[in-house]
């Protein structure tokens, strides 16, 4: 069996057994078993993630793959269809992990002199894994780090690069008001969250960047709830959830502060209690120019076409934690211009990209 056949089979196995963010126990065991059976790499278990190391004398370099799946039911009629109800690899992390294992196989017979680290990270979908794993870069003195992601809407097999900012910062903010319910005929005896929620919805609508602004800033209302369709009860509790997204973390956090301030003012005015919850925090991801140049050269040597993107990818990515600690870059590999988008029912990782990612990783390890 060729290396490509091995990692393709591995990818299908991972796809059949998807696990949600920070629950990737079986996924980790599958990957570690594959690496133990097929390589001599040193494996270090870090609890809910792990990394492999190849000894070397040159400057340390690292490569990262994510492992988690999404809470999406799969109904594709494919041989490797998800066996875990309500969970599927609709973002292609099964392919990312399998491709990184492809690098591990290639390193077995390579002449790479550098010390190489392969990081298998949990929880990317909710921004929960990158921060802890990125600490390895400082701990081991790693000087460069790379990652790859498949992308639909671009030519199949092409490498897609974005200078500088490539994916924005984002976070989820939940604001909860607690007042007092009352009979609907006597609303004055209750404390309603409705006026406060109305104020916040208007504020949220004003926070997004204006059409004339070049810098991305979005405040997207994803959830609003208050009361129930019971015509005898005036609501006493309510909540609003938004996704904040911006090119710079500073602007995103300023948007959060604005919403918090408005919520606290409304709560004080109306006699409500207010609480806040932040989740799914992602830093901005910025590519370093020198690392992008190395990816371009690797692609050129492999005969892989390179596309330069003018637009950022609006989806967030916690690889930004890594590029805060050392130089690095994330590149994308096209699934095809008409290929199903990520996070949709129709998506399945394009196996043709496994070899491309693994080969570019190897070129970078040899640089």
**18 three-state secondary structure:** coil
Q: Please list, in sequence order, all residues whose beta carbon lies within 8 angstroms of the beta carbon of residue 47, skipping any fewer than 6 positions away.
A: none
pLDDT of residue 110: 87
Question: How remote is the C-alpha of 131 from its chain's centroid?
Answer: 12
What residue has token string 């370099």?
Answer: 61
Locate all alpha helices (DSSP H) within the chain, ordered by sequence: 3-16, 25-38, 93-107, 130-140, 194-207, 249-270, 289-302, 320-325, 352-366
Indicate whether 244 pLDDT > 80: yes
Please work out, in degrees rounded to the nearest 5, the angle formed at the alpha carbon of residue 56 by the alpha carbons of 54 and 58. Answer: 130
> Architecture of 169-282 per CATH?
2-Layer Sandwich (3.30)
Distances (CA, A) of 357 to 167, 303, 327, 361: 19, 13, 19, 6
Please list the helix, strand and coil fractions of the chain in percent, rounded to the nearest 5, in that order.
35, 30, 35
pLDDT of residue 112: 77
| Burial (Cβ within 10 Å: 0-12, 13-18, ≥19) of residue 223 | exposed
Contact 68, 38 (CB under 8 A): no
Give the β-pairing of 114-121 and 58-66: parallel
Return d(Cα 147, Cα 318) in angstroms, integer.
11
Separation of alpha carbons 166 and 218, rounded Å: 16
pLDDT of residue 122: 98
Question: How far apart are the C-alpha atoms of 123 and 100, rounded to whole Å?
Answer: 17
Tokens of 166: 């490539």
Q: SS3 of 226, please?
A: strand
Residue 45 β-bridge partners: 50
Q: Which of 331, 339, 349 is nearest to 91 (CA)?
A: 349
Taking the C-alpha atoms of residue 79 and residue 229, their distance in angstroms, rounded to an integer, is 45
Residue 259 pLDDT class (50, 70, 90 cuts): very high
* Model confidence at 191: pLDDT above 90: yes
- Could you tell me the two tokens for 161? 């690069």
Please give the CATH topology (third level) of the domain spanning 3-167+284-366.
Aminopeptidase (3.40.630)
Distance CA 235, CA 243 (A): 25
pLDDT reported for residue 282: 98
**pLDDT at 53 exceeding the cut of 90:** yes
C-alpha–C-alpha distance, residues 325 and 203, integer Å: 35
Q: Which of 251, 247, 323, 336 is nearest to 287 (CA)?
A: 323
pTM of the complete model beyond 0.85: yes
Nearest CA-CA partner of 31 in 14, 48, 19, 6: 14
The predicted model gives 133-148 an average pLDDT of 97
- Residue spans of the domains in the chain: they are 3-167+284-366, 169-282
Q: Is the alpha carbon torsion for 256, 284, 117, 50 positive or negative?
A: positive
For 1-15, the pLDDT digits (tens) are: 899 999 999 999 999
Residue 222 has pLDDT above 90, yes or no: yes
Kindly indicate the confidence band of residue 37, based on its pLDDT and cuts at 50, 70 and 90. Answer: very high
Contact 244, 222 (CB under 8 A): no
- The 8-class DSSP code of residue 307 comes to E
Instruction: Please state, in angstroms and as integers, the Cα–Cα distance from residue 225 to each residue in 158, 248, 323, following that order.
Output: 44, 30, 38
Nearest to 153 by CA among 329, 281, 26, 339: 339
Mean pLDDT of the chain: 96
pLDDT of residue 109: 85
Q: Which of 276, 317, 326, 288 is nearest to 143 (CA)?
A: 326
Q: What is the pLDDT of residues 56-82, one digit of tens each?
A: 988 999 999 999 999 999 989 999 999
CA distance 166 to 158: 17
Q: At 346, is the secondary structure helix, strand, or coil?
A: coil
């Amino acid at each position: 069996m060729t290396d490509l056949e091995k990692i393709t089979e591995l990818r299908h196995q991972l796809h059949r057994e998807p696990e949600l963010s920070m629950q990737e126990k079986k996924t980790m065991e599958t990957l570690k078993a594959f690496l133990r059976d097929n390589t001599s790499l040193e494996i270090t278990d870090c609890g809910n993630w792990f990394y492999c190391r190849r000894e070397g004398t040159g400057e340390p370099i690292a490569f990262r793959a994510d492992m988690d799946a999404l809470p999406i039911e799969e109904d594709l009629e494919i041989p490797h269809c998800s066996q875990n109800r309500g969970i599927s690899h609709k973002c292609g992390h099964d392919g990312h992990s399998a491709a990184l294992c492809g690098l591990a196989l290639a390193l077995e017979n390579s002449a790479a002199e550098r010390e190489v680290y392969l990081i298998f990270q949990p929880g990317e979908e909710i921004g929960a894994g990158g921060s802890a794993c990125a600490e390895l870069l400082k701990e081991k003195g790693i000087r460069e780090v790379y990652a790859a992601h498949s992308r639909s809407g671009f030519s199949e097999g092409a490498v897609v690069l974005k200078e500088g900012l490539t994916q924005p910062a984002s976070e989820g903010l939940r604001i909860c008001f607690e007042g007092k319910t009352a009979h609907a005929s006597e609303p004055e005896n209750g404390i309603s969250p409705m006026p406060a929620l109305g104020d916040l919805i208007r504020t949220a609508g004003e926070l997004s960047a204006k059409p004339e602004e070049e810098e991305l800033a979005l405040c997207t209302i994803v959830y609003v709830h208050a009361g129930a369709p019971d015509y005898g009860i005036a609501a006493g509790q309510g909540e609003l959830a938004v996704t904040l997204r911006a090119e710079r973390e500073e602007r995103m956090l300023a948007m959060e502060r604005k919403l918090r301030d408005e919520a606290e003012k409304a709560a004080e005015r109306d006699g409500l209690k207010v609480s806040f919850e932040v989740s799914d925090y992602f830093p901005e991801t910025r590519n370093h120019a020198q690392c992008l140049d190395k990816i371009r050269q690797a692609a050129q040597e492999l005969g892989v076409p390179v596309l330069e993107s003018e637009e950022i990818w609006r989806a967030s990515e916690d690889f930004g934690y890594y590029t805060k600690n050392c130089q690095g870059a994330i590149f994308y590999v096209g699934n095809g211009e008409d290929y199903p988008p990520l996070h949709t029912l129709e998506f399945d990782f394009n196996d043709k990209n496994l070899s491309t990612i693994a080969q570019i990783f190897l070129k970078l390890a040899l640089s």
